[in-house]
Amino acid sequence: MAKKVLILCTGNSCRSIIAEALINAECQGIISESSGVKSSGKVNPYAKKVLEDEGIWKEKYHSKSLDTVINNHYDLIVTVCDHAQETCPVFPKPVKTIHVGFDDPHGKGYEAFEATLIEIREKLLPKITEAFS
């Protein structure tokens, strides 16, 4: 049975969406969703483009608020920004939480999004795999 991971960020427009897509594409036996503690309501166009360029963009990826996922079952919660780590809510059922922070590429050029994708692939994916081994 697949493990479920929630990637939690502030706006759910860049880092968490990129992480969600990478995990779903590259981590065998793990299903990921993402959410924002203060959802922006939209995916950053560069985040979408970098995922399209990787061939892993799916229309189901969208910016979601925490209240849409708070009652879902997760095996792991991952915060990818300091604000989300500090404000991570208590979920109805106990769940393991880890933090792996990344700089926010929002407001920067496309190259920053490419760098963020690479950093998430290299730093976060191994930690998620390790959390389940």
pLDDT tens track for 71-87 = 899 999 999 987 666 66
pLDDT tens digit sequence for 25-67: 999 999 999 998 888 889 999 999 999 999 999 999 999 988 8
Residue 117 pLDDT grade (very low, low, confident, very high; cuts 50, 70, 90): very high
At 46 the pLDDT is: 98
Catalytic residue among 9, 78, 100, 124: 9
**Distance in Å from the first CA to the final CA of the chain:** 14
Query: Do residues 115 and 105 make contact, with C-beta atoms less than 8 angstroms apart?
Result: yes
88 tagged catalytic: yes
Catalytic residue among 88, 95, 98, 112: 88
Q: Please give the mean pLDDT across all residues of the chain.
A: 91
Our measurement of the distance from residue 42's CA atom to the centroid of its chain's CA atoms, rounded to an integer in Å, reads 14
9 tagged catalytic: yes
81 tagged catalytic: yes
CATH of the structural domain 3-131, one choice from 3.90.1200.10, 3.40.190.150, 3.40.50.2300, 3.40.50.970: 3.40.50.2300
Q: Give 8: exposed, middle or buried? Use CB within 10 Å, 0-12, 13-18, 19+.
A: buried
Residue 68 has pLDDT above 80, yes or no: yes
Above pLDDT 70, what percent of the chain?
Answer: 93
Q: Where are the beta strands (DSSP E) in 3-129?
A: 3-9, 30-36, 76-79, 96-99
Residue 91 has pLDDT above 80, yes or no: no
Residue ranges per structural domain of the chain: 3-131
Above pLDDT 90, what percent of the chain?
Answer: 74
